[in-house]
Structure 1
Amino acid sequence: MKNLFRMPKKIIVLGSLFFLFSCSQDEMANNDAQESTSPALTAKMSSKKLNVFKGPQVALGYGKVRSWISVDQNGFPNEIGLEITPEAFKNLTADNAKTLPPEGETIVVPLQLKAKQLTPFDHIGLNWNPHGHEPEHVFDVPHFDIHFYMISAEEQMAIPAWSPSTDAAFNNYPPIGYMPADYFTPPGPATAEAQMGKHWLPVNLGAYLPFSKIMIYGSYNGKLIFVEPMITLDYLLSNTDFSMNYSQPEHFAKAGNYPTKYNIYHDAATGNTYVTLSEFVARN
């Protein structure tokens, strides 16, 4: 089996990430709490009596991307994800060094403190793949990888490249029941990536072809470490709304609030695109 993700991928920690860590936690909570997104989304949040907390903006293309989380009046998470301005999909050329990392490298999108407190996620890793990646005729179209990581950026960056000496860590899978039963990953280096981990695909992969959107899981050294909506540029530009439950593990290594649905939608008032996780369930 060909390697599905065989591209060198490094972490790009932008200035906004340093801004996040340089501010106190109280400052971040106060500055970003309940910041409005648009008239349309503000009305939506108000109707549900939700508070919105946002992370710092990160440059992409000619635009910006940032994380956000909405929280209900009882302090329970409602939705978490990315807000992407329409300009971010412009000037996505490989030679645009000012606003894009080299192909396949990762932009770290920080989470606001509230998101880290109420969910298992630590940060979001955004990868733009202008030529897609292997295997041919499956994922070889321009698309974004959006990793919701449950480990720190430092732990993520410490994941080595696959080699015979690191094979054991990549292929040390979570115990049975701690990954969805209808996902698989081949042994060896086929889906093992430095600074990412081992990628898991739905068993019924053919049902997602031709590829436009799919949910991927990831593990490393015995732990589930990310969930990853993978979405083509064409689908994001189509402004087509989408929402779908995705497969869940039977057991969870850490108690917390875990999402069960992923969503893609467009705000006509601003042109912003949203990729989010929602329908949280408290897990033991």
Structure 2
Amino acid sequence: MRTSRSIAALALSTCAVLTLAGCGDGSVPTAEGAETAGHHHGVTTLYGPENELGEGISRTYVVVDHDGRPREVGIRMSESVLTGLSEGPGAGTTMLMPALPAGAPDTGFDHVMLDWNPNGHDPEILYGAPHFDMHFYTTDADHEVDPAAPDFAARAARLPEPKYVPEGYIPPPGPPVENTVPFMGMHWTDAADGVIPGSFEFTEVLLNGTWDGEFIFIEPMMTREWLATKPSLREIVKQPSSYRRTGYYPTVYTVDFDEQAGEYVVALSGLTMREAS
């Protein structure tokens, strides 16, 4: 979540629900983005253009199987991105809009936003540590989340039907118009994680976001300190009972460090076709 302090504080100040969603069993596909670029074991990895970040680069990628179907979408960042970043009390947020790979098949995601928050964002008791936000948007509706629009309050108040809500995810308490972050949406959290201000040490979290009655993004957030440990994380992505749109949906979320390439890999994988209902 990128800082928009007065509204973001209301959006998340009492939401204390953000750690790991739990590990799955071996039947769920693992991330393949750590594989060597190009063709490997029947899959092809396509890369988006490079974007400067810190002293390194970041780029999106999509893994495609031999039938042309997407299997994984994610972000790769060189190890050197963790140095040379803006920092200090006066430093502002760095926002990148890395393009998805040209010629990649539809992954179910429309675009990606990568933010570096040198001073965290509200609520600082939870998310005050320097960290990265990575929004994977399923639509281009984020530009519509404009508090100056005359229908903003009505559209913010329109929540998804329960059948479309990922298992265990809840909206922040309070009026939706106050909980909707401008040009992003409302951030939902997993109640099962039980994160409570004052007892939660933020390292990595996975959010879902809505606008106008629809889920429009999945957002990994992680601190620079945690990423520097070169973690190996694998979580099951919780699913709803029904899907509003037919398309591919990720079933696994991973964070790894590719030693061969010297890159951090943040992946939404196990892309599975779901039918709208």
Query: Normalising TM by the smaller chain, what interval?
Result: 0.7 to 0.9
Partner of 1:204: 192
Partner of 1:65: 58
Q: Kindly tell me: are residues 104 and 76 of structure 1, through their superposed partners in 2, closer, same or farther at Cα, counting changes over 3 Å?
A: same
Matches of 2:102 and 2:214 in 1, distance apart?
Answer: 23
Alignment counterpart, residue 274 of structure 1, candidates 245, 265, 270:
265
Q: Kindly tell me: are residues 228 and 112 of structure 1, through their superposed partners in 2, closer, same or farther at Cα, counting changes over 3 Å?
A: same
Determine helix, strand or coil for the equivalent of 1:138.
Answer: helix
Structure 1 residue 267, shift from structure 2 partner:
1.3
- TM-score between both structures, scaled by the size of structure 2: 0.79
Q: Which moved more, 1:178-187 or 1:271-280?
A: 178-187
Partner of 1:157: 143
Alignment counterpart, residue 109 of structure 1, candidates 98, 119, 132:
98
Partner of 1:131: 119
Matches of 1:52 and 1:252 in 2, distance apart?
Answer: 27
Determine helix, strand or coil for the equivalent of 1:87.
Answer: helix
Q: 1:5–1:190: 8 Å Cα contact kept in structure 2?
A: no
Matched, 1:42 2:40: no
Structure 1 residue 60, shift from structure 2 partner:
0.9
Alignment counterpart, residue 5 of structure 2, candidates 4, 7, 13:
7
Matched, 1:265 2:256: yes
Please list the CA deviations of residues 181-230 of structure 1 after superposition, one character each: whole Å capped at 9, or x if unmatched.
31111232553111101111111343593221111000101111000111
Q: Kindly tell me: are residues 105 and 205 of structure 1, through their superposed partners in 2, closer, same or farther at Cα, counting changes over 3 Å?
A: farther
- TM-score between both structures, scaled by the size of structure 1: 0.77
Q: Kindly tell me: are residues 191 and 271 of structure 1, through their superposed partners in 2, closer, same or farther at Cα, counting changes over 3 Å?
A: farther
Q: 1:5–1:191: 8 Å Cα contact kept in structure 2?
A: no
Structure 1 residue 105, shift from structure 2 partner:
5.6
Q: 1:138–1:211: 8 Å Cα contact kept in structure 2?
A: yes
Q: 2:2–2:115: 8 Å Cα contact kept in structure 1?
A: no
Partner of 1:26: none
Tell me which amino acid in the other structure corresponds to 1:273: Y
Q: 1:77–1:119: 8 Å Cα contact kept in structure 2?
A: yes
Matches of 2:248 and 2:103 in 1, distance apart?
Answer: 13
Please give the root-mean-square deviation of Cα atoms over the aligned residues, in Å. Answer: 2.9
Q: 1:8–1:105: 8 Å Cα contact kept in structure 2?
A: no
Q: Kindly tell me: are residues 4 and 200 of structure 1, through their superposed partners in 2, closer, same or farther at Cα, counting changes over 3 Å?
A: farther
How many residues were matched structurally?
244
Q: 1:133–1:139: 8 Å Cα contact kept in structure 2?
A: yes
Matched, 1:215 2:190: no
